[in-house]
Every structure is written in C-alpha cells, then in structure tokens.
Copies of this chain bind each other. A is one copy, B any other.
C-alpha cells in the first residue's frame, strides 16, 4: 500500500496549520483528493465547469453563496456544489472544512486571480 495503514484524525490534522484559504491534502481517493481548509471572510465568486465539489463543515459555520440563494452549513453538514454552478464561500467566524473533488481542481475555478493557490500536502 502506498500509505501506512493508520487512521487520519481530522482534528489532529487541522491542528497542524493555521493559514486561511489554503487547501491541505490529507488523503487520495482514486484520482480525487480529500483536503482540509480553514476559512474566514469571503472568497471569490467562481465556477468549476468540469466537476462537482463537496464541502463538509467540521467546525464553525460556512455560507456557500449561490446565485439562487445561500446554503448555510454547520458542523456535520455537507453540500455538493454541482458543476457549472457559480458559488462564493463566506465564513463570519473561522471555519474548518473538508473538501472532496478531483485532483488538480483549482480553488478559484474559472475565476483565477490573486487568491488562486494549489493544494499543499499535509503530512
């Protein structure tokens, strides 16, 4: 097996970083990546034309703004933004999330710009 058979504790992994809006990969699932991130404030409106994107809130509160209305997620709540649907995450308080999407999916999707950042591997 490419990785040692040990559990990935999400709280422990979240304690390993503090930078906001920076996705940290903790596991691979086929050609998908399981990533963690800490968010506070508002991101940028963007679209992923080629993929759905799963958000699961671990702590805090995340609002995923959509052009049709907002989806508000607390701990233990998830939402899948369908491909092609413009969205903009915003968090009033610091919020920890798990993201799941294909490897190489850019955080800013089609929008690009200064907040674009590739995922980092969290060992």
Count of chain copies: 2
Q: Find out whether the CB atom of B69 lies under 8 angstroms from the CB atom of A8.
A: no
Q: Find out whether the CB atom of B52 lies under 8 angstroms from the CB atom of A1.
A: no
Q: Which of A38-46, A80-88, A112-120 is the contact stretch?
A: A80-88
Other-chain contact of A80, B10, B29, B66 (Cβ < 8 Å): B29
Instruction: Decide yes or no whether A16 CB sits under 8 A from chain B.
Output: no
Chain A interface category by residue count: 35 or more
Instruction: Decide yes or no whether A6 CB sits under 8 A from chain B.
Output: yes
Restricting to A1-29, which residues have a CB under 8 Å from any CB of B?
1-3, 5-11, 26-29
Show the binding face of A for B, using Cβ within 8 Å: 1-3, 5-11, 26-30, 32, 34, 51-54, 58, 66, 68-69, 71-74, 76-80, 82-83, 85, 100-102
